């Protein structure tokens, strides 16, 4: 079975990606399975920069089809912060809880109408050091006044979807996976991966035929 390596060590993110891409006939692994993989410094200016860097660097290392993903929260009232620093917003001793606390403290008592925000997710696919494609999608909402809900990770407990008046952490996977930034981006990436594998297979058949090799 063809392998797809997810360039992450985040187990919760990997679990979510596996669920969304379960329609692909691929063995999905991650950097947890590659202990000697090179360290990736996420110093890109944009989410897309970081996603592409992850995909290219890891695919050069292992020579395999690799998916790089970078995502985060952008809050209008904070000038787009935390942005690409979302995962490490609270500093050296970062954690989801501390990141959420910092965001809530910075927003203070701003009314809900002024707590507009969006999640952004960029996904890049590379194979053996060659970039195949990249996509980026967003999901819009508001930042609540306190964490609510037990599902998900990151800023899910404070990210409210206006339509439901609940946070992603309250809504759970069935609803989140139909509208989240990561779901939308991965579904686009899924089409890129499927198309690439199909075309690659067709190219292989044509090469075999051109060389006079038998096929079936």
**Which residues does the annotation mark as catalytic?**
70
Q: Which residues pair with 65 in a beta bridge?
A: 4, 127
Residue pair 144/34 in contact by the 8 Å Cβ criterion: no
Task: Give the Å distances, CA to CA, from 160 to 51, 118, 121.
Answer: 25, 10, 17
Query: Rounded distance, CA 62 to CA 69, Å?
Result: 17
- Calculate the dihedral angle through the C-alpha atoms of 36, 52, 176, 163, rounding to the nearest 10 degrees: 150
Residue pair 58/128 in contact by the 8 Å Cβ criterion: no
Query: Rounded distance, CA 199 to CA 183, Å?
Result: 24
Query: Rounded distance, CA 131 to CA 53, Å?
Result: 10
DSSP 103-148: HHHHHTT--GGG-EEEEEEEEEEEETTEEEEEEEEEEEEEE-SS--
Count of other CB atoms within 10 angstroms of residue 72: 25
């Amino acid at each position: 079975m063809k392998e797809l390596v997810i360039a992450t060590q985040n187990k919760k993110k990997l679990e979510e990606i596996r669920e969304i891409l379960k329609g692909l006939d691929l063995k999905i692994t991650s950097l947890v399975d590659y202990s000697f993989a090179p360290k990736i410094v996420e110093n890109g200016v944009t989410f897309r920069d970081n996603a592409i860097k992850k995909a290219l660097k890891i695919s050069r290392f292992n020579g395999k089809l690799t998916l790089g993903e970078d995502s985060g929260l952008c809050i209008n009232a904070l000038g787009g912060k935390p942005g690409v620093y979302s995962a490490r917003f609270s500093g050296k001793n970062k954690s989801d809880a501390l990141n959420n606390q910092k965001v809530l403290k910075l927003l203070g008592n701003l009314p809900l109408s002024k707590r507009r925000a969006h999640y952004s997710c960029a996904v890049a696919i590379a194979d053996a050091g060659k970039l195949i494609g990249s996509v980026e999608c967003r999901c819009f909402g508001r930042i609540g006044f306190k964490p609510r809900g037990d599902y998900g990770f990151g800023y899910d407990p404070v990210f409210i979807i206006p339509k439901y008046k609940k946070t992603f952490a309250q809504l759970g996977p069935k609803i989140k996976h139909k509208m989240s930034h990561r779901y939308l981006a991965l579904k686009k990436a899924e089409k890129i991966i499927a198309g690439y594998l199909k075309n690659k297979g067709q190219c292989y058949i044509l090469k075999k035929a051109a060389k006079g090799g038998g096929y079936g």
